[in-house]
Chain A
Amino acid sequence: MTTMQRLSRVDAINWNRLQDDKDLEVWNRLTSNFWLPEKVPLSNDIQSWNTLTQQEKQLTIRVFTGLTLLDTIQSSVGAPVLMEDARTPHEEAVYTNIAFMESVHARSYSSIFSTLCATRDVDDAFRWSEENPTLQAKSELILERYRSDDPLMRKVASVFLESFLFYSGFYLPMYWSSHAKLTNTADLIRLIIRDEAVHGYYIGYKFQQALAEATPERQQEVKDYAYELLLELYDNEVRYTESLYDEVGLTEDVKKFLHYNANKALMNLGFEPLFPSSVTDVDPTIMAALSPSADENHDFFSGSGSSYVIGKAVATEDDDWAF
């Protein structure tokens, strides 16, 4: 196994002497993205919540409870173990931000619950989460890697959590949003989705740096372990998805969303995507809910060549554009 140079003593952190500029770049990104759930007017969703059937309400609360569990794991176990493996004080500081934001995310779901839901229904969902075998299995698959002594696999597990495991849950608020339901809740979830992208990117970047220093044999071994873990998580994720979404008939589309995001998780680790485009064709209304500009015709190449749009007005600009 590669020996990674961990920080053995604590020195005062000097942000003006960087070993890796990526640490500052990501720190700036994360801090400028800071938000709290109080900023989102969740109570505007009360009326919309009341249009959901009891079954849909239960599904939504369960999905958010599952997400809360993942955020809790990442905040209390994931980010702290990554801190132990940090190689620069700045990297360690970035993980403190990640740990805190994961707590904010977990806190946000409770804000949604207290605004929209009956206490008893929420208590039921938390009990469900403790007993649900597939939810517990995914938590155990990740925690096992976090407890292991392998810094590379800890990062792999962490990227899979950040960039893959959340998405069976994120699908639902995007689905509601595409049906003009719970739109404020969806706004809050989009803030979480944005954060998770930076987390997955950064942890994946640190993973790739560490992997590059390993022997070719070790690199191959880690890569094999990573794909193996992804497939194990994927099989479990499919069962989790079926148990939640079968009754509303959305399972097949959620799976496409899983494939699409599994590919992105692999790419964050520097690995080639696994799922072909034939199974990643997520419903365009979901993609539009995720990224409102995603459906605009920016594929000039496959269009006629005459219908492209030159970017719309952009309000802010950098000072150093000289023209």
Chain B
Amino acid sequence: MQNADVEAGRNRSLVYFSTKSGNTHRFIQKLGLSAQRLPLNREEPTPRIEQPYILVTPTYGGGYAEGAVPGQVIRFLNDEHNRHLLRGVIAAGNTNFGEAYGLAGRIIAQKCQVPLLYRFELFGTDDDVAKVRKGVEEFWKRQAQSLTT
């Protein structure tokens, strides 16, 4: 990776999972940042990531920790190589689920010791998109700075 790219926060990526309902996919499309989608089909091999990334995931279920993180995401994070490159997590959910709003994000943040960066509902509002776009850019800049200093 070129140093200039590191400083500009380029070449950093998002990895995301989205079910057939496509809400998270739609959020990613609105963000317009480069992102890799985890396979929906459980038979497909889980990809290997080559650079630090932020994970965006929906929350499954109706309020229980068990099953809140989609199986495909668990399989992806079970790969130690992938897990070590994870820098932060963004979770989708619905406030109707009360305490469990965006629970998948909290579980991953705790298990992988990375910050839960943001939560949004369904496919996110324009405000969510603007905040995350700006936030992600600044996040990578800070990461790059902390590497060079």
Contacts and interface: CB of A to CB of B under 8 A. Distances in A.
Interface of A: 20-22, 25, 29-30, 32-33, 190, 193-194, 196-198, 201, 205, 208, 263-264, 267-268, 273, 277, 287, 290-294, 298-302, 305, 308-318, 320-323
- For the complex of A and B, list the 8 residue pairs with the smallest distance between their C-beta atoms, beginning with the closest: A301-B135, A197-B96, A311-B106, A311-B110, A291-B95, A316-B65, A267-B122, A311-B109
B107 A311 contact: yes
Interface string B130-141: 011011101100
Given A22-B20, A22-B21, A310-B110, A287 B95 contact: yes
Given A305-B142, A314-B110, A323-B78, A29 B62 contact: yes
Nearest to A322: B78
Contacts of A315: 65
> Which of A208, A293, A312 has the most chain B CB atoms inside 10 A of its CB?
A293
Given A320-B74, A323-B83, A299 B63 contact: no
Given A208-B21, A318-B74, 8 more contacts: A22-B19, A194-B62, A291-B95, A293-B102, A305-B142, A308-B116, A310-B110, A316-B66
Nearest to A202: B21
Nearest to A319: B66
Contacts, number: 147
B103 to A, nearest CB: 8
Q: Mostly helix, strand, loop or mixed at chain A's interface?
A: loop
B135 A302 contact: yes
B112 to A, nearest CB: 9
Nearest to B23: A267
B123 interface: yes
Contacts of B106: 293, 311-312, 314
Interface in B101-149: 101-103, 105-111, 113-119, 121-123, 125-127, 131-132, 134-136, 138-139, 142
A286 B112 CA distance: 32
Contacts of B61: 29, 32
Nearest to B42: A21
A294 B66 contact: no
Contact of A300 (B83, B116, B123): B116
Contacts of A196: 96
A300 B80 CA distance: 25
Contact of A321 (B78, B97, B102): B78
Given A310-B113, A317-B65, A318-B67, A290 B98 contact: yes
Contact of B116 (A194, A201, A205, A310): A310
B14 to A, nearest CB: 14
B98 A300 contact: no
Interface string B78-100: 10100100001000001111110
A194 B63 contact: yes
B9 to A, nearest CB: 14
Contacts of A190: 98
A264 B121 contact: yes
Given A316-B66, A318-B67, A323-B80, A291 B101 contact: yes
